[in-house]
Amino acid sequence: MRSSALTLSPRALSSHVPATSRLSADVTDRAIASALPTRLRPADLLRLTDEGAEDVLAGRYDHLLPPGGAWPREERWATRLSADEEVDVWLISWVPDRSTELHDHAGSLGALTVLSGALSEFRWNGRELRERTLSAGDQASFPLGWVHDVVRAPENAVPGPLDPTLSVHAYSPPLTAMSYYEVTGHGTLRRNRTVLTDQPEGDVK
């Protein structure tokens, strides 16, 4: 049975919330916002990667792509589509069997849109690694503390309109560091190293 509260408009609903609770929620929201390192939100980054993917597919970044469509076949490849003090946007080409290793994005939020091929993501959920497949058109965002390993999905993934497996990523603030992890035999994460880098999703050639 549906709760009658679900049929209330936001204005009506707010009128049923005690003023002290609303004040507390406002203070909490402001505290969270001021603690984040960027004014951009995951939804903003998702939109930027969506727009970037659309621009790549429309040929607006052809001048940044490998000449003659010769996508690297052995190593992951990336090019920066845009950058300012708030956000970096990258195009990444993925090759088989070159995972990123388990990593975080230090103090940056992130997001991606897959525009061709498919990616396999293995995310640490606090107890284990959970796998999901991100296919062309899929999006994902990475809040602070997100630890994952990303690799090109097996060849049986449905190909997109371009031959290579491509994704557009946005990071805010722009990436400055990443930490790498391993899963221990005790079901915990161990941080192995932290590197200063402005390159997306692990070192790329």
Where do contacts with Fe ion occur on this chain (CB under 5 A)? 201
HSE, side-chain direction, 13 A CA sphere, residue 198: 10
Q: Considering beta carbons, is residue 44 or 201 the nearer one to Fe ion?
A: 201
Q: Considering beta carbons, is residue 25 or 83 the nearer one to Fe ion?
A: 83
Angle at 80 between CA 79 and CA 83, to 5 degrees: 175
Residue nearest to Fe ion (CB): 201
3-state secondary structure of 69: helix
| 62 contact partners, CB below 8 Å, separation of at least 6 | none
Closest separation between CB of residue 72 and Fe ion, Å?
19
Q: Considering beta carbons, is residue 17 or 114 the nearer one to Fe ion?
A: 114
Pair 172, 43: CB distance under 8 Å? no
Single-letter amino acid code for the residue at 50: D
Closest separation between CB of residue 146 and Fe ion, Å?
7
Closest separation between CB of residue 169 and Fe ion, Å?
8
Closest separation between CB of residue 35 and Fe ion, Å?
22
Q: Locate 98 and state its tokens.
A: 């070159």
Instruction: Give the separation between CA 64 and CA 44, rounded to whole angstroms.
Output: 24
Instruction: Give the separation between CA 193 and CA 11, rounded to whole angstroms.
Output: 49
Closest separation between CB of residue 183 and Fe ion, Å?
16
Closest separation between CB of residue 77 and Fe ion, Å?
16
Q: Considering beta carbons, is residue 88 or 201 the nearer one to Fe ion?
A: 201
Pair 152, 95: CB distance under 8 Å? yes
Instruction: Give the separation between CA 60 and CA 193, rounded to whole angstroms.
Output: 37
Q: How far is CA 101 from CA 12, 33, 110, 202, in A?
A: 49, 30, 17, 8
